[in-house]
Each structure stands twice: as structure tokens, then as C-alpha cells.
């Protein structure tokens, strides 16, 4: 059974919610999972103990969180050496012209500057959680929403996450990992046959 580390950083919790859905689906597909918040100072993350990685991070004011970016910078060689997958969560992905990896500029800017090269990336719309923001964030995000055609009603929260898209991401990741297992088993079988014939 492959062990998959699920690593994330969230602000108000929507990225964590998405990751927990991914965790459930990956376990239903037969993978063993463990979830880690990269900011948690009390948790030691030994990446060497895992066969694959799924990472998720939200964006605030156009940038992925600093601690998450630093974590990737510190561990990109291990991430690149094994199957790894990344999803970005931001409110601009609520728009059709910003909802794909190739047209979401925040995701593209991050991928262009990180040494990490995930096997698969995706972008999910997050949630507009006015009731959870502090006063400064509420006013700042309300202004951004006004400028970009979003909701400015601070009395209610709106979830934009497309859960069918999250489900598709999980199925694609599971398929990729299953293919990796089959390729490894085939390679080992070929090696065994070659040794027996020598």
C-alpha cells in the first residue's frame, strides 16, 4: 500500500477542507494517507517515509503563503524524486477565464519560479468567508471583490469550490499512482527474469 503525505497551508480553512476530501477519496482508492500542516511547529515531517505527495496551498493578495513556499524550497529535491501533485486555491479561479492551471496567473507565476516540478497541478476556487475575516481583511477583500465583480455582501459567506473538479483531480492522481505501481512491478519482474536467465 502506497503511503501518501498530504501537506498544506490554509488561512480560513477552505484548503484544509479540500484536502480532507482528497484524503477520504485517496483512502477509498486504497492509499494510506497522513495530513500535515506545514506551519505546525510541533510536527516533524519525515518525507522519506512516504511514496508520494499531494500539496495544497491557498493564496492571499496574489501570493501563496510564505511558509508553504519555504517548505517547498527546502524539500523540492525529495518532492521531485517521487510522484507529487499540487493544487492552488484562490478566489480568481471562480471565473471561467481563470479556473484552469494554464490560465490562472497566480499558479503560473508560482510554477515559473519554484524548483519543484509536480507531476500534476490544478487550481480550485476557494471560498469568500467574510464572517471569518478580521476587519482589515474584510475591507480589503470587499474592495477586491468590488473591483473584480464579486460579492460585497459581508453578512454571508460564499463557497465557490467545484467539488466535481476536486473529485476529478483525485481520480487522476489515483490513476497516476496506480500506473506507477504497475510500472514498478513490471520493472521488478523483468529484473527477476533477467537474473534467472543469467
Q: Which CATH number belongs to the domain containing residue 168 in this structure?
A: 3.40.50.360
Closest CA to 127 of 17, 2, 1, 20: 17
Give the per-residue pLDDT at 198.
59
Q: Are residues 92 and 138 in the same domain?
A: no
Angstrom distance (rounded) from CA 58 to CA 191:
43
Kindly compute the dihedral angle of the four CA atoms of residues 138, 142, 148, 151, in this order, to the nearest 10 degrees: 110
The domain in which residue 175 lies consists of 3-126+161-197
Q: Are residues 117 and 131 in the same domain?
A: no
Residue-level length of the chain: 198
Q: Are residues 84 and 148 in the same domain?
A: no
Q: Are residues 21 and 90 in the same domain?
A: yes
pLDDT in tens, the chain (198 residues): 899 999 999 988 999 999 999 999 999 999 999 999 998 877 788 899 999 999 999 998 788 999 999 999 999 999 999 999 999 999 889 998 889 999 999 999 999 999 999 999 999 999 999 998 899 889 998 998 998 888 999 999 999 999 999 999 999 999 999 887 667 655 555 555 455 555
Give the per-residue pLDDT at 12.
86
Give the per-residue pLDDT at 179.
86
Give the per-residue pLDDT at 192.
53
Amino acid at each position: 500500500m502506497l503511503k501518501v503525505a498530504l501537506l498544506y497551508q490554509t488561512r480560513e480553512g477552505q484548503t484544509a477542507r479540500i484536502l480532507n476530501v482528497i484524503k477520504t477519496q485517496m483512502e477509498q482508492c486504497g492509499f494510506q494517507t497522513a495530513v500535515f500542516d506545514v506551519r505546525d511547529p510541533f510536527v516533524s515531517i519525515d518525507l522519506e517515509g512516504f511514496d508520494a505527495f499531494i500539496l495544497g496551498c491557498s493564496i492571499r493578495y496574489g501570493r501563496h503563503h510564505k511558509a508553504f513556499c519555504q517548505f517547498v524550497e527546502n524539500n523540492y529535491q525529495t518532492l521531485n524524486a517521487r510522484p507529487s501533485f499540487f493544487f492552488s486555491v484562490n478566489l480568481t479561479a471562480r471565473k471561467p477565464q481563470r479556473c484552469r492551471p494554464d490560465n490562472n496567473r497566480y499558479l503560473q507565476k508560482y510554477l515559473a519560479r519554484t524548483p519543484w516540478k509536480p507531476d500534476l497541478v490544478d487550481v480550485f476556487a476557494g471560498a469568500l468567508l467574510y464572517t471569518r475575516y478580521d476587519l482589515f481583511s474584510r475591507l480589503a477583500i470587499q474592495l477586491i471583490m468590488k473591483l473584480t465583480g464579486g460579492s460585497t455582501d459581508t453578512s454571508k459567506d460564499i463557497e465557490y469550490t467545484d467539488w466535481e473538479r476536486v473529485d476529478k483531480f483525485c481520480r487522476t492522481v489515483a490513476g497516476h499512482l496506480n500506473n506507477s505501481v504497475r510500472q514498478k512491478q513490471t520493472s521488478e519482474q523483468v529484473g527477476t527474469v533477467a537474473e534467472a536467465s543469467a
